[in-house]
Amino acid sequence: MPTRGRVATRIRFAVKAAPIPEIIRVLDDEGAEFDVASVGEIELCLRQGVAAEKLSYGNPIKKAADIARAYALGVRGYAFDTEDDLLRIAEHAPGVGVECRFCATVAQSRTPFGMKFGCAPQETAPLLVRARDLGLTVLGPYFHVGSQQLDPAAWRTGIEEAGRVCAALAEQDIAVASVNVGGGLPIPYAGADAEAPAPAVIAAVIERAAVEFLPAAAGLVVEPGRALVGSAGTLHAEVVAVRTAPDGRRWVYLDVGRYNGLAETENEYIAYRFVTERDGDPVGDAVVAGPTCDGDDVLYQRTRVPLPTTLRAGDRIQILDTGAYTASYSSVSFNGFPPLTVDVSGPERK
């Protein structure tokens, strides 16, 4: 990301995207901070040698005991979106820095959060004033435009709303230290996501909006997860069976499915790209499904997936750009299938 005037943008990696020790160590060496969603992620980062002051507890849904544990481990940055959570932070993590997450009024992303997170924009400033009065350090407003956001204008809208929060806080003699513009930076997948805007395009939108709407002294924080690690992973799968259903459609069953790390195929939000050993043969559309006995373990029924008509059981398939939200989504042992293993030893296996 570019700098805005004299203020550089800080990169805070969303650990949930790829909680893999080797990735954490590499990003730590590169100077990244880390957005952590649980005590488990905090402890994972600390075991890799990450300094506690580089961690921010960004999940606004957390128990009092988890706040206390994070504080005891040295975490001094927290996000919240309700007064209830704010009071828990003030009690169990006194004096820490806080960001208030609001629900930006932006276009729906490919994997939207809906109303699960964030207060109304107009509630943000009063909550941060309350944080100040509770003895906490106000960092600033925080928004997230939704995962795999394809509309760069979403960040402009969020920053404009954050600017109004900053202005309201200035009237209360509270100077905003930073504005957290969240994650959501997309990568190219298949289908509609193939034309995902490049990071430089989104960065330019963020920079222009920051200059226009935010105080000059306010820094920026961006929390990429998928954008940093999505293209770093390839899932190696095998065709278990090929079948023509009674409605005439061809089904291709793989030995990995929704419960083996491909949870983002829910509602067919993310369209992964496939590479097979038979690429170059004639292709036809296929329904792609996982191996379990669950009827919901179907990856793509509506999305057009052109696969070679010559595919047979035993053929190998590579699912590309699966570096984000796969290894950690994989179930422990649903239907007895083991979770994914992660190989970081070198080039792709054959």
Output the pTM of the full model. Answer: 0.91
Fold topology of 233-332: Lyase, Ornithine Decarboxylase; Chain A, domain 1 (2.40.37)
pLDDT of residue 116: 84
**Mean pLDDT on 221-233:** 95
Do 9-230 and 233-332 agree at the fold level?
A: no
pLDDT of residue 5: 52
Residue 169 pLDDT > 70: yes
Instruction: Work out the mean pLDDT of the chain and round it to a whole number.
Output: 93
Residue 20 pLDDT > 80: yes
pLDDT tens, residue by residue, 235-272: 999 999 999 999 999 999 999 999 999 999 999 999 99
Q: In the chain, where are the structural domains located?
A: 9-230, 233-332
**Mean pLDDT on 21-49:** 97
pLDDT tens, residue by residue, 115-132: 789 999 999 999 999 999
Say which CATH superfamily domain 9-230 falls into: Alanine racemase (3.20.20.10)
Residue 6 pLDDT > 80: no
Q: Select the more confidently predicted residue: 194 or 154.
A: 154
Q: Is 34 exposed, middle or buried (0-12, 13-18, 19+ CB in 10 A)?
A: buried
Quickly state the pLDDT bin for 335 (edges 50, 70, 90).
confident
